[in-house]
Amino acid sequence: MVISIIYILPFRSSLTFNGIILAIVTFEAFIKTDSASAIRASVALALTIIISGLIILHINRLKQNLINESIRDPMTNAFNRRQLGSHLSSCLAQKQRNDIDSGILMLDIDHFKKINDTFGHSTGDMVLKRVTQLLFKHIRETDLLFRVGGEEFLLLMHNIDSHKAKQVAEKIRKIIEKEVIIDNYPITVSIGISMALAHIDDDNWMRHADHALYDAKESGRNQIKMHQPLSNYCPTKA
């Protein structure tokens, strides 16, 4: 019974029910049997509950690891690109129905190929991890970070206006610029911003952010640019 309860009920609820069962069995055992038999029965039941609980905890941990591996980039722990579409669609639907603003920050590490060529790929991987750690540290709990390319990240910010989105982008740019990731070698990022519009789809929203990022890189890098709807899109990035 106690094993079945552990597998059927949520973990905390199963512990509560099994604790009650253990108390009842222990009480009945001491009333109806001698002390030695009652102690053996109680200990055996307690060990069954503990061992079964440890097994189910291990199984749950393995399940969570598998889920994380399927939705997150293993190097940076950012969400992978496969998870992006549904979140973009949700934000656009809320913009259409309730006029709730959302913003995309498309972020690219400047001259990342040169970092790999100069210091090696292991250092390049370290830069990716450190930049991601800085992003996780300074974004809101409701923001979602995705790795969408080799050195390119997308930050999806729900319920934010364009002015605040610019402030967040500039804060991120300055934090990364000031951080000493490689000694005597500054690491900077370029950021393109695009706000949700009621009449666009996922692909166009991302294309707007990519266009703004291209403008930031073409303008000298280490800066932010906001997408302008009437600007001409050029897909090539340096």
Amino acid letter, 234? C
CA distance 153 to 120: 21
Q: Which of 141, 151, 177, 179 is catalytic?
A: 151
CA distance 166 to 213: 13
C-alpha torsion angle, residues 172, 189, 108, 233 (rounded to 10): 100
Going from the C-alpha of 238 to that of each of 108, 175, 219, the distances in angstroms are: 11, 23, 11
Q: How many CB atoms lie within 10 A of CB 66?
A: 10
CA distance 163 to 174: 17
CA distance 112 to 120: 11
HSE at residue 107, side-chain half, CA atoms within 13 A, is 29
Spatial strand order of the sheet with 189-195 comes to: 144-147, 152-158, 102-109, 189-195, 224-226
State yes or no: is 151 an active-site residue.
yes
CA distance 93 to 83: 17
CA distance 166 to 191: 10
Catalytic residues: 151
